[in-house]
Amino acid sequence: MRLEAKYKWLPTPFRSLMLFIVWLLLNNSVAPGHLILAAILAVAIPLATFPFRTKQPLVLKPGKALQYLLMVLYDILMANIEVAIKILGPTRKLKPAFVKVPIDLAQSMPITILASTVSLTPGTVSAEVYPWPEDMADGAEPQQRYLLIHVLDLDDEAALIDTIKTRYEKPIKEIFAC
């Protein structure tokens, strides 16, 4: 895990890249004027907002991140079909459940990504992270954290936890190297 970027003037390289792309998409052009403006904004905005943010781990494996994004998009497609079938099918057959998934991630950025992925994909909505970071005393040894999720139709709790851990948590751990 690395918190500090290589260059001081570029504290969050990937956020800068995203800002650059978003600006070009917003203006719907790649004219030189917009390219220059986008580059200036991409450097200036992270620099200006950097002091307000808590330090988050940097993306260390961009290739893995792209791979993860594509995998999640595919999973969203599959999960949608699955959930659509379940919604249209008989309601009484569904077995809703709350499940606690132990997570090894500690920083809030990776946890947010994991929780969002879980919400968007396999028939689950993430509900809560235990224990709350604000409940922990300063400098206390971090405990095992849990992600509380609500499942629309639970078949096998252990298999679901295993899927989330190996399919989603492991690549996130690799991307941030934490």
Partner 1 sequence: MEWVISFLLLLGGSLVLVGSIGLVKMPDFFMRLHGPTKATTLGMACLLFAAMAYYGFYGEGVSVKEILISMFLLITAPISGYMLIKSAIHHRLDSIEPTSGKDKIEED
Among 10, 59, 120, 161, binds partner 1 (CB under 8 A): 120
Token pair listed for 43? 């450097």
Dihedral over alpha carbons 32, 35, 36, 37 (to 10 degrees): 120
CA end-to-end span of the chain, whole Å? Answer: 5
Only segment of 7-15, 53-61, 127-135, 166-174 that touches partner 1 (CB under 8 A): 127-135
DSSP state of 58: P
Location of structure tokens 């809560």: 128
Among 1, 3, 26, 66, binds partner 1 (CB under 8 A): 26
Closer CB to partner 1, 62 or 96, in the complex? 96
Per the CB < 8 A criterion, the answer to whether 171 and 64 are in contact is: yes
Binding pattern to partner 1, positions 32-71, x when CB under 8 A? Answer: ----------------------------------------
Token pair listed for 66? 């792209």
Among 48, 88, 140, 158, binds partner 1 (CB under 8 A): 88
**Rounded Cα–Cα distance for residues 115 and 172 (Å):** 11
Only segment of 47-55, 56-64, 86-94, 158-166 that touches partner 1 (CB under 8 A): 86-94
Task: Extract the runs of DSSP E, i.e. beta strands, from 16-134.
Answer: 97-103, 124-130
Closer CB to partner 1, 5 or 94, in the complex? 94
Among 84, 106, 159, 177, binds partner 1 (CB under 8 A): 84
Among 49, 62, 98, 159, binds partner 1 (CB under 8 A): 98
Other C-beta atoms lying within 10 Å of the C-beta of residue 23: 18
3-state SS assignment for residue 88 = helix
Binding residues for partner 1, per CB under 8 A?
22, 25-26, 28, 76-77, 79-80, 83-84, 87-88, 91, 94-100, 115-117, 119-121, 123, 125-128, 130, 148, 150, 152, 154, 157
